[in-house]
Structure 1
Amino acid sequence: MSSMVPNDKNSKKPKSESFGDLMKTMNEFFNEKPIKGFLQSIDDFFKSPFPPGTGFHVDTIETGNEYIISAELPGVKREQIHLNISGNHLTISVENKELETTEDEHNQIYRRKYLQQKSSKTISLPHTINEKSVKASYRDGLLKIRIPQEKGKVIEIDD
């Protein structure tokens, strides 16, 4: 039976070198600029799918007569937190604005960098929220929001 790989001594490359050439060609293909940039961006995404500092943890607990919503916001100042109620949705927003200035008088280099980070979470509740009855407190990086459960009017069905 004949073999697919020539076995005579006049052949230029043995089988293992052909495979090595194929691997080298594949490596060169994936290391070209456009492909490498694309693959690097995929790797970066899976290392950190969300930009650092944009998310915060929120828990919602139903006690029977109220909803207690807790958000962990370590290092956030009270004035950076904004609460918005619209219908049955509560949105917690955190906004951080910083101005970073670097000056080097010797080399006459001046640099200003304005950083703005904003993140928010929206919680949906099964009924419309009465904003007058909502109470919120913030202490030691923990935001607690208490929303009373409102009972709707019970309607009797006639025979």
Structure 2
Amino acid sequence: MSSMLPGDKNNHKPQLPEPFRDIIKTMNDFFTDKPMRGFLQSIDEFFKQPFPIGTGFQVETVETGKEYIVSAELPGIKKEQIQLNITGNYLTISVENQELETEENDLTRVYHRKYVRQQASRTIALPQAINEKSIKASYRDGLLQIRIPQEKGRVIDIEE
């Protein structure tokens, strides 16, 4: 059954028995031939994209004692594409991208035009209502920072 000959001194690597060699060859062919190879390459391409906008974005909230600092990483996004919305104690960060993609082929006279719209948003809940007049937001080098001052509530004395 084995293809390894006892007198073969040139063969340094032991050969697998024939049934296993055929199974491994079949598995190897399965993953390297189309359509599976194309499918695996498309999965690789999907994970190479650093920031697919439809999947959300990284947001971090830090409490300093005086203010809340909300930071969002938005690489490649323009300031005009960002919208901040406040409702009660909720802060919503929305990002929207609209593009017109055009393909033209003068040889075949085929013109293809499509509008692409991508949108992502994150909502952050804070423990107190937000005073929209005291918020400061800045956007520089793909990093959005929102500073929300912590407001002191009124202390109520309890009677005996």
Same fold (TM over 0.5): yes
Aligned to 2:93: 92
The aligned counterpart of 2:135 is 134
Q: State how 1:60-139 maps to structure 2 within 5 Å.
A: 60-139=61-140
CA distance, structure 2, for counterparts of residue 158 and residue 104 of structure 1: 82
Q: State the TM-score, normalizing by the size of structure 1.
A: 0.68
| Whole-angstrom distance in 1 between the partners of 2:52 and 2:81 | 14
**SS across alignment from 1:79:** helix
Match of residue 157 from structure 1: 158
SS at 2:93 equivalent: strand
What do the CA deviations read for 1:110-157 (whole angstroms, capped 9, x no partner)?
100211111111111001111111110001111000000111111111
Q: How far apart are the structure 2 equivalents of 1:53 and 1:123?
A: 21
- Specify the code of the residue in structure 2 equivalent to 1:90: L
Tell me the secondary structure at the aligned position of residue 150 of structure 1: coil
- Look up the equivalent residue of 1:85 and give its one-letter code: I
- Opposite residue 102 of structure 1, the aligned amino acid is E
Q: Alpha-carbon deviation of 1:105?
A: 2.3
Percent identity between the aligned chains? 64
SS of structure 1 residue aligned to 2:151: coil
Query: 5+ residue gaps in structure 1?
Result: 1-39
After superposition, the CA RMSD in angstroms is 3.5
Could you tell me which runs of 5 or more consecutive residues in structure 2 were left unpaired when the two chains were aligned: 1-39
Size of the alignment, in residue pairs? 143
